[in-house]
Chain A
Amino acid sequence: MNNQVDISFDKLYNEFENRIKSLEKLPALKENTSAEKMLIEKGFSRRDFMKWAGAITAMLALPSNFTPLMADAIKVVDRLPIIWLHMAECTGCSEALLRSAHPTIDSLIFDYISLEYHETLMAAAGWQAEENIEHAMHKYKGQYILMVEGGIPTANNGSFLTIGGHAKKGLDIAKEASENAAAIFAIGTCSAFGGVQAAIPNPTGAVALSEVTHKTVINVPGCPPSEKNIVGTLMYYLLYGSLPALDAYNRPKWAYRLRIHDLCERRGHFDAGEFVENFGDEGAKDGYCLYKVGCKGPYTFNNCSKNKFNEDTSWPVQAGFGCIGCSEPNFWDTMGTVNEPLKDKLYNTTFSGLGADATADKVGLGLLVATGVGLAAHATLSAIKPPKE
């Protein structure tokens, strides 16, 4: 059995090697430099770099002897042309990746890759910018990776979002760019599921990218997604040349396979029934579970509890604040109030508005009280006015 596994990994190793070689032959965007050199210039040691490559290797569930290969792959990462579109969004995903307190290797790699078009980062503006995207889409037709940030407004024929001097609709750009892409990544919850602008009442008719194209979209949700999931998805595609295994919501399984709750460091307290009742109480000091103060970790598939943020420094639950479920579809509408358990979520349109602004328990207790009053009345009447025998 073990032998078989080894053989298959050998095969994979060779495939990766060949793919890296073939990518090496493609023209590099940046001349006379390499990702490694760039990192060393920015003050990282080779050791840091190899550690990082090892972490990405482990994250993609590859054996550790793939680490040097991963390092090689990063050197050719600038061979893949990338077009990054901004739709209806806050640029938080780009910002989170690029403007960390001190630059992380992930963010530097992201800076380094061949971004053919990225409105926040590029120098061009106006007509020139518009020309750039058309040029890139034409030149790298069928080869580029499309990364989209933001939901796609579709109401009024998509006229809620227009870009550039020709007032091209975001909807049309997204469709066109998807059509000729080699792979499509929806970066962040907005482009993966619609996000905040798709929350009720959704005036702009914002939808997920996958709703406007017939091609497979890999969703990398999160608000923002962790930089590791973005770079990891890119490295996966670079190495395998194919799309990763996806879950029911088209999220890569290597990142979104388990719930926050499954790997949470407070899970022992959850099972023991030890809960923080209020922020700052004794339980909070003892690191008890945040379920009663609204943690949505049990419903949320993501790897924050494993990978953490800011180079493994911490993550929300470690810092004492519950998960808000940002990587789940429609989390703005469905996860309920941030600091309250799900059962206290307010209904909005139930029973054509009758149940509005009430919790399940309120509605339920209301029904129960009404029944109780009705039965008490019936019992009283039955007792006072019994039928004549």
Chain B
Amino acid sequence: MNNTEIEYDDKLGTKRVRVRRMTFTMRLIHWVNVVAMVVAIATGLYIADPYYQSFIADDAVDKYVMAWNRWGHLIVAIIFDVTAIIVSYLFFFSRFEKHYLKILPTKKNIIEFGEVTLNLLTLNRRKKFDSSHSDSFNSVYFIIFHILLAWMLFTGLQMYVHALASGDSSIGAWWPWMLHLVTDWTIPFSSWLVGTTATGGNIMDVRIVHHMSMWIIIVWVVFHIYYQIWRTIFWQEGDIAIVVGGSKFMKIDKDGNKNIE
């Protein structure tokens, strides 16, 4: 229940405490997502525009380059489906950490969000928040990623069901029916985003927006990696270790209070 549970570590003296931040499951999901993301981007770019090996092999060699790329893309999509479902469950029901409490627009959260942003902008000159637990800046950033991921899943499934135009599939008609039910809204939404037609929504806009959204996710990843490294360097609390070992360190003063200015 309590993620800020502080374990005193005598060997390190009294000034540093270990804070558990990610469970094994959370870390596993993180790294599965990392691998899946790299594969999704590499194969996705290939599917959009095959950028290697059009010409290098002879004919009649057993090479299914496009077919394997598409297979890989769909497999990581399924992995993302599974992790996304687990993550959304944990988001509300995790016994370790109630993430959603951090994104509610309460006064406390808004102030904390502002303070974390200021800390980044003032290059760590100002640090007026408790950095031992997951802060609301992190939680909002985490949510943005999962919204982007869900968006990729919905648009991806929309393109997938588009190919099942017969309305039937090898496992029955319920499957395309269900996919239409949950993903058809992405068509008008994509068209609204890119506004490419004079007369209304179009499935082709979903493809373009799916491709565009990949870049936004890449931008997200770049900032994410930068920020985690930056925190590690400037806060000196070992933040980067969270995703590997599950915990970071927290400085406390002689009286055992957390080191907050």
Q: Which of A193, A330, A333, A343 has the most C-beta atoms of chain B within 10 angstroms of its own C-beta? A: A330
* CA–CA, A364 and B233, complex, Å: 29
Q: Given the interface contacts A333-B197, A349-B194, A387-B123, does A292 sit within 8 Å of B222 by beta carbon?
A: no
Instruction: Closest A residue to B198 by CB, please name it.
Output: A202
Instruction: Classify the interface of chain B: helix, strand, loop or mixed.
Output: helix
Is the pair B198, A334 in contact by a Cβ cutoff of 8 Å?
Answer: no
- Known contacts A330-B197, A350-B193; decide if A381 and B218 are in contact (CB<8 Å): no
B63 near A272: Cβ-Cβ < 8 Å: yes
Q: Tell me how far the C-beta of A200 lies from the nearest C-beta in chain B, rounded to whole angstroms.
A: 5
User: With a CB–CB cut-off of 8 A, which chain B residues contact A110?
Assistant: none
Quote the shortest CB–CB distance from B234 to chain A (angstroms). 7
The answer to whether A335 touches B54 (Cβ under 8 A) is: no
How many residues belonging to B are interface residues under a CB distance threshold of 8 Å?
Answer: 48
Task: Determine if B97 is an interface residue (Cβ-Cβ < 8 Å).
Answer: no
Please provide the chain A residues from 313 to 350 with a CB less than 8 Å away from any CB of chain B in the complex: 328-330, 333-335, 341-345, 347-350
- Are A375 and B226 within 8 A (Cβ)? yes
Chain B hits for A349, CB < 8 A:
194-196
B216 with A258: CB separation less than 8 A: no
CB of A26 to closest CB in B, whole Å? 36
Question: Is A165 positioned at the interface, with any CB of B under 8 Å from its CB?
Answer: no
| Residues of chain A lying within 8 A (CB to CB) of residue B165 | 247-248, 256-259, 301
Give bound CA distance, A329 to B216, whole Å.
28
Partner among A270, A301, A360, A379 whose Cβ is within 8 Å of the Cβ of B230: A379
Q: In the assembled complex, how far is the CB of residue B70 from the closest CB belonging to chain A, in whole angstroms?
A: 8
A387 touches B226 (CB 8 A): no
B222 CB contacts on chain A under 8 angstroms: 368, 371-372, 375
The answer to whether A273 touches B207 (Cβ under 8 A) is no
30 contacts between A and B (CB under 8 A): A207-B199, A256-B165, A258-B165, A259-B163, A271-B64, A273-B67, A275-B54, A282-B55, A292-B50, A299-B203, A328-B204, A333-B196, A333-B202, A334-B202, A349-B194, A349-B195, A350-B194, A360-B212, A365-B215, A367-B216, A368-B215, A368-B222, A371-B219, A371-B223, A375-B223, A378-B123, A379-B226, A382-B123, A387-B123, A387-B234
Q: A257-B166, A348-B196 are in contact. List 17 more A-B contacts (CB 8 A).
A: A194-B199, A253-B166, A272-B65, A272-B66, A273-B54, A277-B54, A292-B50, A301-B165, A328-B203, A334-B196, A343-B48, A343-B208, A350-B194, A371-B219, A371-B222, A381-B123, A386-B124
